[in-house]
Structure 1
Amino acid sequence: MPRAAERPESLAERIYARLKDDIFEFRLMPGDRFSEGEIAERMAASRTPVRQALHRLQREGFLDVHFRSGWQVRPLDFAQFDELYELRIVLELEAIRRLCQRPTDEHPPALQALARTWMVQKEDQLQDGAAVSRLDEAFHCQLLEAAGNREMARVHREVSEKIRILRRLDFTQPQRIDLTYAEHQQILDAILTRRSEEAQQLLKGHIEVSKAEVHSITLHKLYGARQRVEPMPE
């Protein structure tokens, strides 16, 4: 039997997901320009679902559209990234404060799951930068979820997605992977033993280091990251 035609909304969702992945995996670089027609040809789709996907990415802050010259991946805005990192710190410090105020015999399941992931021996630690980057983002998001405020967790997830492209670059160096495991272990140990002030100081320092790495990222590093991923799919 012939394959049923894909529903327009499903096709737009698929194109949206592929383009966002292209941005996060550096196949589409900050500043890169392209047209709707080029994307439609590559995706083997009509312009309508392509346009829907592009406008969604524009609303989320990943793309800009220019009259006559088409679409562009939004260039890196370091002032905005600084503000997003500051918002992360506010949310995560409050999450730690709430977690440390819980009764001493009560640990949320999410916190226990984090301990199983991060408080492991050296030989059991992952070394793939992309995998550790995903785990690192999940670590910080799960702290917010464990704290129990759904709106705080939602805002934190949105912030995390906006800075994901830079956090990925933070894990291209092996020493950053090792430090992340060590720092997460220290933060979790302080939370689990209700050392609130220490846990907050550790977490703030951990994020500040990541924030400092943002300022060391250059276009050269971005292009180097693109060389390490597969070519743009046809």
Structure 2
Amino acid sequence: MVGEFPTGVRLAEEQIADQLKVSRTPVREAFVRLHADRLLKRFDDGGYYVAEIDLFDLRDLYELRLTLEVQGIVRAREPGISHDRDALVELRRVWEQIASAPPPADGSFIELDESFHLALLRASGNIALIETLESVNVRIRPVRTFDFLTEDRVVQSTQEHIAIVQALLDGDIDLAADRLREHIGASLEIVEQRASEAIRQRALRSRQLRGA
């Protein structure tokens, strides 16, 4: 993701296993997982290579994601609609526990992050919003993983999650919506910056390989 492996170059199982000082089995399993996450693609013969980073339509998808999630928050303004308070209390408990022992900044945090946003939306009671967000997540996940490559982003995102839930528990819908907008906006900015740098690094390494 940081551009160490150029796009289109076959990833050598044995070479990477030697580099990481592990057997080929976990490397093979990692390839399968990265392929499922759309971070790797497969050659016709079954080998893997780094997928190209696609920033096309990223802002549009983030806008759709934001619209869905904000609607989940503000729909509680409508008569007879309220958030599932028990679910929000449990969500806060889970993320306070995560905050006490933050996970490593290795990109896997995206699963926890997605689970938070889906749980937050689920508390609004609109299943259609949840299903649509899930489809958006699939499309932006390969790029959005760039958001969680440093410890500070993991810690910051965790604290922001707790703050959003707390605002809802306090009954301040406007504050919760504002915090969510800032949270998703910061993510987009970082994703675009890091992904663009990775594209530049991969292009540079590809030119170096061709020159060699």
TM-score by length of 1: 0.61
Q: Map Cα deviations across residues 111-168 of structure 1 (whole Å, 9 max, x no partner).
A: 2331111124853333344442211111111122221111111010000111111222
Name the residue aligned to 1:191.
Answer: 168
Structure 1 residue 172 and structure 2 residue 149: aligned?
Answer: yes
Q: Quick one: which of 7, 29, 34 aligns to 2:43? A: 34
Change (3 A) 1:135 1:79: same
Q: Which runs of 5+ in 2 are unaligned?
A: 1-30, 203-212
Name the residue aligned to 1:93.
Answer: 70
Aligned with 1:126: secondary structure? coil
Change (3 A) 1:133 1:218: closer
Counterpart amino acid of residue 87 in structure 1? L
Query: Structure 1 residue 179: deviation in Å?
Result: 0.4
Structure 1 residue 162 and structure 2 residue 171: aligned?
Answer: no
TM-score by length of 2: 0.67
Name the residue aligned to 1:12.
Answer: none
When the two structures are aligned, how many residues end up with a matched partner? 171
Structure 1 residue 24 and structure 2 residue 37: aligned?
Answer: yes
- Would you say the 8 A contact 2:37–2:142 is kept in 1? yes
Q: Give the distance between the partners of 1:24 and 1:105, measured in 2 at CA.
A: 34
Identical-residue share of aligned pairs (%): 27
Q: Give the distance between the partners of 1:98 and 1:161, measured in 2 at CA.
A: 24
Structure 1 residue 215 and structure 2 residue 192: aligned?
Answer: yes
- Would you say the 8 A contact 1:107–1:192 is kept in 2? no
- Would you say the 8 A contact 2:105–2:150 is kept in 1? no
Q: Give the distance between the partners of 2:59 and 2:140, measured in 1 at CA.
A: 10
Q: Give the distance between the partners of 1:192 and 1:105, measured in 2 at CA.
A: 11
Larger relative contact order, structure 1 or 2 (CA cutoff 8 Å, min sep 6): 2
Q: Map Cα deviations across residues 17-36 of structure 1 (whole Å, 9 max, x no partner).
A: x857425273x1xxx6722x
Q: Give the distance between the partners of 1:93 and 1:33, measured in 2 at CA.
A: 37
Q: Which runs of 5+ in 1 are unaligned?
A: 1-17, 43-71, 225-234
Change (3 A) 1:221 1:82: same
